[in-house]
């Protein structure tokens, strides 16, 4: 795992998506545990003096205080990541958060669900299904139920881990935009790979019905 020297930066931009900040621990097919750590703001603006699209991780308390929405113009500070694989967002440890201009509220017909993101307990209770990378990057990107998780794979128990990013969905099972994508390989040392073909999705979301 590459270790970087964190650097504090200033940023400002228009929010184009707000998603849960999530992590997943995988061990063969015996375990797929999801962790919910806050939110990722995806913005179009300027970070560290460079005009670009970027993402900033914030806490649940920060979101509850300021209630960021898509279209808001916001600014703040943040830090570059010490570990590239620890977060999907470009920056974390956000501070000095301010909303410069609130977006006008408009009614939209889902999907995607362009609503104020719920609290972490709601995501935890709903559970996630695997979401195809193409869907995540396309029509689902602005949806409050979409997420790109930082995944840690237990490759050699207690000795070696592997890391990657995977997209998931917390939205209604009946969503017409949803596509699972290909089964996902879960490797283990000297044992090849098992494949998560979707049955873990059923376990993770067993508490809700088709339209929940």
Residue 3 lies in a domain: no
Residue 17 lies in a domain: yes
Residue 209 lies in a domain: no
Residue 134 lies in a domain: yes
Q: What pLDDT shows up at residue 15?
A: 99
Q: What pLDDT shows up at residue 106?
A: 83
Q: What pLDDT shows up at residue 176?
A: 97
Tell me: the pLDDT tens digits for 10-34?
A: 999 999 999 999 999 999 987 999 9
Residue 210 lies in a domain: no
Tell me: the pLDDT tens digits for 157-173?
A: 989 999 999 999 999 99
Domain that holds residue 29: 8-204
Tell me: the pLDDT tens digits for 109-163?
A: 999 999 999 999 999 999 999 999 999 999 999 999 999 999 999 999 989 999 9
Q: What pLDDT shows up at residue 211?
A: 85
Q: What pLDDT shows up at residue 164?
A: 97
- Distance in angstroms (rounded) separating the CA atoms of residues 32 and 125: 15
Confidence class for position 105, pLDDT limits 50, 70, 90: confident
Residue 196 lies in a domain: yes
Give Rg (Cα) of the chain.
Answer: 18
Mean pLDDT of 172-181: 97
Residues of the chain above pLDDT 90, percent:
91
The whole-angstrom distance between residue 38's C-alpha and the CA centroid of its chain comes to 9
Q: What pLDDT shows up at residue 87?
A: 94
Q: Is the confidence at residue 1, as pLDDT, over 80?
A: no
Q: What is the per-residue burial (b if ≥16 Cβ within 10 Å, else e) of 109-135?
A: eebbbbeebeebeebeebbbbbbbeeb
Whether 71 contacts 86, CB under 8 Å: no
Q: What pLDDT shows up at residue 160?
A: 96
Residue 98 lies in a domain: yes
Highest-confidence segment of 85-89, 104-108, 121-125, 192-196: 121-125
- Our count of domains for the chain comes to 1
Residue 2 lies in a domain: no
């Amino acid at each position: 795992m590459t270790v970087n020297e964190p650097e504090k930066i200033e940023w400002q931009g228009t929010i184009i998506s707000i998603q849960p900040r999530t992590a997943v621990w995988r061990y063969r097919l015996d375990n797929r545990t999801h962790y919910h750590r806050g939110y990722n703001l995806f913005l179009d603006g300027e970070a560290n003096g460079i005009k670009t699209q970027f993402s900033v991780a914030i806490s649940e308390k920060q979101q509850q205080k300021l209630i960021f929405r898509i279209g808001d113009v916001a600014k703040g500070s943040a830090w570059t990541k010490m570990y590239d694989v620890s977060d999907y967002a470009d920056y974390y440890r956000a501070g000095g958060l301010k909303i410069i201009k609130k977006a006008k509220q408009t009614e939209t017909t889902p999907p995607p669900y362009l609503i104020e993101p719920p609290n972490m307990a709601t995501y935890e209770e709903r559970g996630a299904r695997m979401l195809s990378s193409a869907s995540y990057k396309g029509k689902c990107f602005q949806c409050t139920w979409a997420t790109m998780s930082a995944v840690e794979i237990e490759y050699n128990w207690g000795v070696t881990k592997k890391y990657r990013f995977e997209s998931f969905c917390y939205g209604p099972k009946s969503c017409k935009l949803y596509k699972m994508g290909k089964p996902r390989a879960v490797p283990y040392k000297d044992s090849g790979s098992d494949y998560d073909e979707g049955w873990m999705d059923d376990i993770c979301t067993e508490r809700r019905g088709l339209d929940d």
